[in-house]
């Protein structure tokens, strides 16, 4: 399974890379980690005539504290670096919890944080996590930069807000709010496989231990990250007891998701897993936020 031929460029600055993308437009594909692109090229499902390799642009590799208490992650930062960064463990615990679920160490040693986002695989973990966190994406083109919030970045099936002549250069992870809890869970057939269903949840409690905010986002149930708005609505202002969480799980499965069937899971089974995972994730998240269920 050998890839088809292509013209190869290895720019050393972001500007150089952008100039190449502007020149080639849809004929060019960006090579970041390559862990998703190269298999599709080996299968000849993708046949780009130009590859612009970002791996030699040092200015895109970093993890830095953001002034607001969050974290700024350069788009080419390796997933394994994010996995082991103490800054991420401290300031973005949901990301920290998610990283070991992504494929396997060998993949994470090459795969990049930004590359994963830009690829927008509906079965990928990080897009769903970024929506749950309300992360912001810094996009640069030759004419300038713009910021796009996560829930506007993922548009559809393997499609983002990026134009062909633009690059994602940074992901800004917001600071952890007060009284916050989080959980990442997924059901997969084997360790490291794509999830049959996955959930990223970020919740906050108010001073009366009621749910203040709930961002509940699923992966593998639609064209991209699917936010469970109905489930969140059910929870807001409520005490997150097991009953309330169950009701949220019902809402998530019944109203928020419309999964499809494939050879690994039917829509019914996925819907069932949505219910199960919502319950488990919210229980864990609210527990971490400090909610104690006095039963």
Partner 1 sequence: MTDPQVTEKYVGKRIKRNEDPRLLTGQALFVDDVDLPDMLHAAFLRSDFAHARVQSIDVSAARARPGVVAVFTAEDMGDFWRPGPLIVPPPSKVEGIVFNARTQIPMVKDKIHHIGDPLAVVIAETRYIAEDALEDIFVDYEPLDAVVDLEEALKPDAPLVHDDLGSNLAAHVVQQKGDFEAARGEADVVVKRRIVIDRGAAAALENRGVVADWDPRSQQLTVWDTTQAPIPIRNGIAAMLGLSEHQVRVIAPFIGGGFGPKIMMSQPEEVLVPWAATKLNRPVKWIEDRRENFIGTTQEREQIHDVEMALTRDGRILGVRDVFLHDTGAYDPYGLTVPLNTQSHALGAYDVPNYYTEFKVVFTNKMIVTPVRGAGRPQGIFIIERMLDLAAKELGLDRAEIRRRNFIPPDAFPYSHVVIDQAFAELIFDSGNYEPALDKALAMIGYDQFIKEEQPRLRAEGQCVGLGIVSFVETTGVGPYEGARVTIEASGKVSVVTGVGTQGQGHFTSFAQVAADQLGVDVGEVRVVTGDTAQFHWGTGTFASRGAVVAGNAVNAAASNVRAKVLRLASKVLDAPEEELELENGQVRVADIPEQSISLGELAVLANPLRGAVEPGTEPGLESTDYFGPKTCATAFGVVSMIVEVDPETMLVDIKRLVIAHDCGTVLNPMIVEGQIHGGMSLGIGNSFYEKLAYDENGQLLNASFMDYLLPRSTDMPPQIEIGHLETPSPLNPMGSKGVGEAGAIPVPAAFAQAVEDALVDYNVEILETPLSPNRLFEILQAARQADEP
Partner 2 sequence: MSDLFNLTVTVNGTRYERAIEPRLLLSDFLRHELGLTGTHVGCEHGVCGTCTIMFDGQAVRSCLMFAVQADGHDILTVEGLGTVEELHPLQDAFRDAHALQCAFCTPGFLMTLVPFLEQNPNPTEEEIREAIAGNLCRCTGYQNIVEAVKLAAQRMAT
Q: How many residues bind partner 1 (CB under 8 A)?
A: 24
Q: Which CB atom, from 117 or from 123, has the smaller least distance to partner 1?
A: 123
274 sits in which H/E element: helix 267-289
Pick from 273, 274, 282, 289: which binds partner 1 (CB under 8 A)?
Answer: 273
Q: Is 42 in the site for partner 2 (CB under 8 A)?
A: yes
Contacts of partner 1 in 129-188 (CB under 8 A): 187
Nearest residue (CB) to partner 2, 80 versus 213: 80
- Report, in this order, helix, strand and coil percent for the chain, each rounded to 5: 40, 25, 35
Q: Which run of H or of E encompasses 241?
A: none
Q: CB under 5 to 8 A by kind: which of partner 2, partner 1, none does 213 bind?
A: none
Question: Between 188 and 227, how does the x/- string for binding to partner 2 read (CB under 8 A)?
Answer: --xxx-----------------------------------
By CB under 8 A, the residues from 234 to 263 that bind partner 1 are 263
Please state the closest distance from residue 264 (CB atom) to partner 1, in A: 7
Strand partners, 170: 74, 138
Cβ closest to partner 1, residue 204 vs residue 284: 284
Q: How many CB atoms lie within 10 A of CB 262?
A: 11
* Per-residue exposure over 135-161, b if at least 16 CB sit within 10 Å of its own CB, e if not: bbbbbbbeeeeeebebbebbeeeeebb
From CA 33, how far away is CA 22, in angstroms rounded? 21
Q: Which of 44, 104, 146, 189 binds partner 2 (CB under 8 A)?
A: 104
Per CB under 8 A, the list member of 135, 196, 216, 217 interacting with partner 1 is 196
Sole binder of partner 2 in the list 107, 148, 161, 267 (CB under 8 A): 107
Question: Contact between 43 and partner 1 (CB under 8 A)?
Answer: yes
Residue 5 found at the interface with partner 1 (CB under 8 A)? yes
Q: Report how far apart, in Å, the C-alpha atoms of 171 and of each of 35, 142, 229, 281 are.
A: 19, 19, 24, 24
Q: Which does 196 bind (CB under 5 to 8 A by kind): partner 1, partner 2, none?
A: partner 1
167-173 vs 71-74, strand pairing mode: antiparallel
4 or 254: CB nearest partner 2:
4
Provide the token pair at 170.
Answer: 């940074």
Reference 201, options 93, 111, 120; nearest CA is: 93
53 lies in the binding site for partner 2 (CB under 8 A): yes
Q: Which stretch binds partner 1 (CB under 8 A): 124-132, 149-157, 193-201, 238-246?
A: 193-201
Alpha helices, H only, 45-187 = 79-84, 86-91, 93-98, 105-108, 113-119, 125-133, 150-153
Residue 160 and residue 114: Cα distance in Å, rounded?
12
Q: Judged by CB under 8 A, does residue 163 bind partner 2?
A: no
Torsion over CA of 135, 82, 222 and 180, rounded to 10 degrees? -50
What residues make contact with partner 2 under the rule CB under 8 A? 1-8, 10, 31, 34-35, 38-39, 42-43, 51, 53, 55, 80, 103-107, 109-110, 190-192
What residues make contact with partner 1 under the rule CB under 8 A? 1-5, 43-44, 187, 189-194, 196, 263-266, 268-269, 272-273, 276
């Amino acid at each position: 399974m050998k890839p088809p031929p292509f013209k190869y460029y290895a720019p050393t600055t972001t500007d150089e890379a952008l100039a190449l993308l502007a020149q080639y437009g849809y004929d060019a594909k960006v090579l970041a980690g390559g862990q998703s692109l190269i298999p599709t090229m080996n299968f000849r499902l993708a046949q780009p005539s130009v590859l612009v390799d970002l791996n030699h642009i040092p200015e895109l590799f970093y993890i830095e504290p953001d002034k607001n208490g969050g974290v700024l992650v350069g788009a080419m930062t390796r997933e394994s670096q994010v996995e082991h960064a103490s800054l991420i463990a401290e300031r973005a615990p949901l990301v920290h919890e998610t990283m070991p679920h992504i494929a396997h160490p060998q993949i994470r040693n090459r795969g990049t944080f930004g590359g994963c986002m830009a690829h927008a695989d509906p079965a990928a973990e990080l897009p769903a996590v970024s929506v749950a966190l309300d992360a912001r994406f810094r996009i640069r083109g030759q004419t300038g930069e713009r910021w796009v919030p996560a829930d506007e970045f993922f548009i559809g099936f393997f499609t983002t807000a990026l134009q062909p002549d633009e690059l994602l250069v940074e992901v800004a992870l917001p600071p952890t709010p007060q009284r916050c809890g989080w959980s990442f869970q997924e059901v997969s057939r084997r360790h490291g496989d794509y999830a049959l269903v996955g959930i990223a949840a970020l919740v906050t409690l108010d001073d009366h231990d009621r749910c203040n905010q709930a961002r509940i986002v699923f992966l593998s149930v639609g064209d991209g990250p699917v936010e469970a708005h109905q489930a969140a609505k059910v929870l807001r202002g409520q005490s997150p007891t097991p009953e309330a969480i169950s009701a949220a799980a019902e809402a998530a499965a019944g109203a928020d998701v419309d999964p499809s069937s494939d050879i690994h899971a039917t829509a019914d089974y996925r819907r069932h897993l949505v219910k199960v995972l919502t319950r488990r994730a919210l229980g864990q998240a609210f527990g971490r936020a400090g909610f104690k269920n006095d039963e």
